[in-house]
Structure 1
């Protein structure tokens, strides 16, 4: 009796421990999005790694048997070598050891990196040999010339002249075209591995990563007759005259009554007055307003997150509302005054500065950079990234490159052995400047906005130019030609795109979603 009772108690104890561990795991899985060991990040872009908060714009989290943060190297350009992050543009990971690249085309030979254009990696011992010519290949741990010699692995001496008896037994391999190459040459259409005529049949297959499907994820591609069937996300259904479209993996027709397709989910038994909300929930716009998934009995309302707000009185910053004023703007989820010199917005992250920090802090993407530190900010049209300074390295757009491997001109990286540019340009930087790093005097003194009409190596032509000085803007009667003696300085600016510029630099901006927003910001800030 006692034995049975003891076994029963042990069973309950194991169940409680299992339930608690599962509950904690589920709690952690859901809470890691907003907390990290109980710490709640002020910046929503912060992530959790090994129980610590980190900013992927600035650092990298590598995961293996545990997690480790490599500081000073953004996840946008890094890769992991075991638990250590590295910059693949200039480095290579060989057997979990980070090494500098000997050339842009470097590969691994065991634990060492080698230049595959100048060297060979031969034998089971991974021996690195200097190529005697471009025609030399590996023969065990030696090398031979494929034009004049052959490799005989069964002989004591492996390398023989091409007219020897050994070479007759070991003719050179002839490569047959790969299936993918053959397909492209013949311009065939394939559904899985089966070829078909697209004029008569179609291929039904699931779109990868679709979130709103209910059939098994391993559904294989299937050929079908489009006059008899309809394909909805890899699911074949018999076609009906009134059934002409898909909602996720479910077919339906516009003529059907009582159905509503919202974000690939088909809702049935709906009333005619219902529509889809922005969050994909059916609602009655004449009777209510839906904010995310919360319903409000107030038709025609404006949403800020899950709540209604009054646009005349409040400003909505990504789901958070604040009192509206003429000088108040959004910076991510927070509001701030553009007149306050102690507040600086960097790509959606708001920083509060001290009076001593005002002149020494600049934005680099969403990260705040102290200009006195040994860090470098590299900026392209779409991103700014921070790097720890390295001797001799330069910026090329948002990349930080080693001039021993790469050359840069107009934002384009080229391997040093293939560069078409003059040697004097190979060490030049090519990057844009950030509008957010201009102080009020620089911003309000004089700046231009215009559309790129033409780009050459020596100059850029802007048309439809406005000159902004303070809170006044005047139309420039002629085109503005921005000339430069350094032909490689500016990135490859896009013809037809609008840029801000002055007599020296071209600027980009990550704090505003449109040119109009930035123009409004400049005129507002320079009005006070």
Structure 2
């Protein structure tokens, strides 16, 4: 088995050609970088007279709550709260003492997720109408909205229900607490069975609704820019990766000159204060939280360890004394340039199997032609969830393998990795 260190030299076209042959598309932009599914919308919403981004704030009765995303919040009157760790009684928020507490049906409670008040009161959900302030739409069927209620295909289940498990849109009831999902397959102790269009134009290239010259310009989400201003896209903007004070976070370009380029991305937001803030992320969402004692991340949720435990990004209403913070996968561009002196490789997850507390993974190393197969074992509960068919950046340290990046599907990410690290193909064993 041969892997490569990122300090050495390979023609960039070599790896790009390999990935293209495997069906990994190049959208030509860093928007939605590092996500196997769509990230939350970066379009500003209205809350009363203020605008906000949903991944960082909540809106209840035209009152804006900073630092708590509406994706994980509920409303208690005009106050947003985290229903994982708090409860609403008669219009006031209290700290939960048990994970299964349900006595929060106070008269002043708003039975809605913390959505922007500007949302239209009636929308279509399949053939029915629904109020997005009070209901959620699950594949054409409306249900009562709550940050603890989640869609699973056309059905809904409650977060923390140990007897229900959603596997890629299929809801299973009556499952054992030890059951787990690997992609759309349900694993249990007694069952190990595996189950714009484009039209060419004569002599012209299009960027949005206009033509452009790809020799002198770069196209970013339909907007043309001179290559002298940079050769990497960030949403509709272009930037020069040599300028350390520019940071691209899921299509949002930030100036980080004040914190000397040490800030990290958390979805489309910027994590600047690592002392008072923490980023919790899953394959679909990345959310900023204000740090609290005895709280850890479980995917994109931030939970109280005295109420919940976490295994492979699944919350369980049984506290575990051994709970600790999950390893967080980061966008590939967020790891540069720190990974440039590490032994890394791109590995595509081909198969996953569970065995007691271990998750065994068959990897296909992308930039190796001869014998590309690699078998890796990870601690199941304390390792990030990895999806079949997705490619991740891995680190090799002796005989230990560790995933570093969230999954990605953009050739431009890999291009930036090789460009910045001046990658060369040096065999290391």
Q: CA shift at 1:52, angstroms? A: 2.4
Q: Is the 8 A contact 2:296 2:324 kept in 1?
A: yes
In structure 2, do the counterparts of structure 1 residues 374 and 44 end up closer, same or farther at CA, with 3 Å as the change threshold? Answer: closer
**1:415 partnered with 2:317:** yes
2:352 alignment partner in structure 1: 454
Give the paired residue count. 293
355, 377, 381: which one aligns with 2:283: 381
| TM-score when normalising by structure 2 | 0.60
SS at match of 2:339: helix
CA distance in 1, matches of 2:368, 2:313: 31
Give 1:152-231 correspondences, 5 Å limit. Answer: 207=127
Structure 1 spans left out of the alignment, 5+ residues = 1-42, 113-204, 210-276, 280-284, 290-297, 418-422, 467-472
Q: CA shift at 1:308, angstroms? A: 2.9
Task: Provide, for residues 369-422 of structure 1, a one-character-per-residue CA deviation record: whole Å limited to 9, x for no partner.
Answer: 1244310111112221100111100001111111122110111111117xxxxx
339, 360, 363: which one aligns with 2:242: 339
Give 1:282-301 correspondences, 5 Å limit. Answer: none
SS at match of 1:522: helix
Task: Provide, for residues 299-335 of structure 1, a one-character-per-residue CA deviation record: whole Å limited to 9, x for no partner.
Answer: 7854433333333332222232101369611111211
| TM-score when normalising by structure 1 | 0.49
1:306 alignment partner in structure 2: 209
Q: Is the 8 A contact 1:313 1:324 kept in 2?
A: yes
356, 359, 365: which one aligns with 2:267: 365
CA distance in 2, matches of 1:487, 1:109: 35
CA distance in 2, matches of 1:465, 1:515: 17
515, 519, 523: which one aligns with 2:414: 519
73, 76, 81: which one aligns with 1:81: 76
Q: CA shift at 1:454, angstroms? A: 2.8
Q: CA shift at 1:350, angstroms? A: 0.5
Give 1:142-153 correspondences, 5 Å limit. Answer: none
CA distance in 1, matches of 2:126, 2:297: 42
431, 436, 439: which one aligns with 2:333: 436
Q: Is the 8 A contact 1:458 1:487 kept in 2?
A: yes
Greater RCO (Cα-Cα under 8 Å, separation 6 or more) = 2
In structure 2, do the counterparts of structure 1 residues 431 and 425 end up closer, same or farther at CA, with 3 Å as the change threshold? Answer: farther
In structure 2, do the counterparts of structure 1 residues 300 and 75 end up closer, same or farther at CA, with 3 Å as the change threshold? Answer: farther
Calculate the aligned-residue CA RMSD, in Å.
Answer: 3.4
Which one has the bigger helix percentage? 1
In structure 2, do the counterparts of structure 1 residues 302 and 324 end up closer, same or farther at CA, with 3 Å as the change threshold? Answer: same
CA distance in 2, matches of 1:433, 1:72: 20
In structure 2, do the counterparts of structure 1 residues 439 and 110 end up closer, same or farther at CA, with 3 Å as the change threshold? Answer: closer
Larger radius of gyration: 1
In structure 2, do the counterparts of structure 1 residues 352 and 477 end up closer, same or farther at CA, with 3 Å as the change threshold? Answer: same
**1:90 partnered with 2:85:** yes
2:48 alignment partner in structure 1: 50
Q: CA shift at 1:449, angstroms? A: 1.3
CA distance in 2, matches of 1:460, 1:87: 34
SS at match of 1:416: coil
403, 411, 429: which one aligns with 1:506: 403
Q: CA shift at 1:444, angstroms? A: 5.5
Structure 2 spans left out of the alignment, 5+ residues = 1-40, 108-124, 130-195, 424-429
